[in-house]
Amino acid sequence: MKKSSNNKNIGQVGEDLACNFLIKKRYKILCRNYRLKFDEIDIVAKSFNGILVFVEVKTLKSGEIKDLIPEDNLTKNKLKKISRACRLFVGFHKELIDDNRGWRLDLIAVTLGEEDDNIISHYENINT
């Protein structure tokens, strides 16, 4: 039980860092932790050029698990579920889509280091 709570805290810290990272890149955060039945979208944002962007955030503490990076936690099954949630979101919120730009799914991987020495990697358009 304690480990699950700790993982939630680590995930929350990673999402907070990801939001700050996106805001610095001139993204507008529309919502966080958007739930659709069994699926969840970590971050829904608009990029500086008007593209609707769904962001999956994966976070690990540095050295927590040897030879594992946050990106390793995005499985095919998880990607399929997130993509389904994104398509449903788009269906419910057509007003947020620019027909010329569409939408995309990004991954932000956060490695939490010691004393705020964090590594943030942003992978754009992972759903193609």
Mapped to the 3 state alphabet, what secondary structure does 8-74 carry?
HHHHHHHHHHHHHHHHHCCCEEEEEEEEECCEEEEEEEECCCCCEEEEEEEEEECCCCCCCCHHHHC
| CA 53/CA 104 separation, integer angstroms | 5
Q: Is the pLDDT of residue 4 over 80?
A: no
| 108 sits in which H/E element | strand 103-112
CATH top-level class for 2-123? alpha beta
* pLDDT per position as a tens digit, 26-47: 999 999 999 988 889 999 999 9
In this prediction, residue 7 carries a pLDDT of 67
| Residue 3: both structure tokens together | 């480990």
* pLDDT per position as a tens digit, 45-74: 999 999 999 999 999 988 766 778 899 999
Residue 78 main-chain phi, psi, to 5 deg = -65, -45
Q: Are residues 69 and 109 in contact, defined by beta-carbon separation less than 8 angstroms?
A: yes
The total number of residues written for the chain in this structure: 128
* Residue boundaries of the structural domains of the chain: 2-123
Q: Is the pLDDT of residue 22 over 80?
A: yes
